[in-house]
Chains A and B, each alone.
Chain A
């Protein structure tokens, strides 16, 4: 049973446009969500996070939106740049409990010139 789902294995976006990566979760105990970015042959790099007490968190070109009722979050990148081409992992945890971070399978983002 996959608790964190990224249903789009890949996404192509024109440079300069907005990239929207989606993530759904099933466990209502999750209250902390993270996005990681991964280049080939490197480890994942923490990008941005959001607590369930918020519905939006912004950091430069990156914004994460959380819809708790729909158990859905999304990562917006605007404007998209060539260096954004990578695999993006959505992750979730039940902070404050003795639980682990659960990762989705990732979405490969291609930024087209």
Chain B
């Protein structure tokens, strides 16, 4: 049973470009969460999605950030017009049923904005 997959593992973007981060949850998992980790910081919740629905996006910056989890395909975290402050590790997690039980994390995407 493959774990949570994220790609790319490393992404370099220039200021003003768009970043697209992909997450494929574990087989049978229908809940996806995105977290951001800044240097020397813990994991900050960004958004919680179920198939085709955003359940909680209270941790998402109001502008430039969006997330989706379509019926088919991976979940996408999209950052438009990236700035240097967006440089961080972005982790995706999935869980099999009701939320806030054990979440299983992917390896993360390290975004560097130059």
Q: Which of A34, A41, A49, A100 contacts B48 (CB 8 A)?
A: A100
| B108 contacts chain A at the CB level, 8 A cutoff | yes
Taking a contact as CB atoms under 8 Å apart, the answer to whether A101 and B45 are in contact is yes
A1 on the B face (CB < 8 A): no
Instruction: Please tell me which one of the listed residues A49, A89, A94, A98 contacts residue B102 in the complex, with CB atoms under 8 A apart.
Output: A49
| Chain B positions 96-112 with a Cβ under 8 Å from a chain A Cβ | 100-108
Q: Is the CB of B100 within 8 A of A105?
A: no
Q: Number of B interface residues, CB 8 Å?
A: 26
Residue of B at shortest CB range from A90?
B42
The A interface is mostly helix, strand or loop, or mixed, namely loop
- Beta-carbon nearest neighbor of A94 in chain B: B100
Question: Residues on A close to B: CB < 8 A?
Answer: 4, 6, 32, 34, 36, 41-46, 49, 89, 93-95, 98-106
- Which of the listed residues A43, A94, A95, A103 has the most CB atoms from chain B within 10 Å of its own CB? A43
By beta carbon, the residue of chain A nearest B107 is A43
Which has the most chain A C-beta neighbours within 10 Å: B43, B55, B56, B93? B43
Given A44-B105, A49-B101, A101-B100, 6 new contacts (CB under 8 A): A34-B102, A36-B105, A89-B43, A99-B100, A100-B33, A100-B100
- Quote the shortest CB–CB distance from B9 to chain A (angstroms): 8
Instruction: Say yes or no for B91: interface residue by CB 8 A criterion.
Output: yes
A29 to B56, CA, bound (A): 18
| Cβ–Cβ contact B42 & A101, under 8 A | no
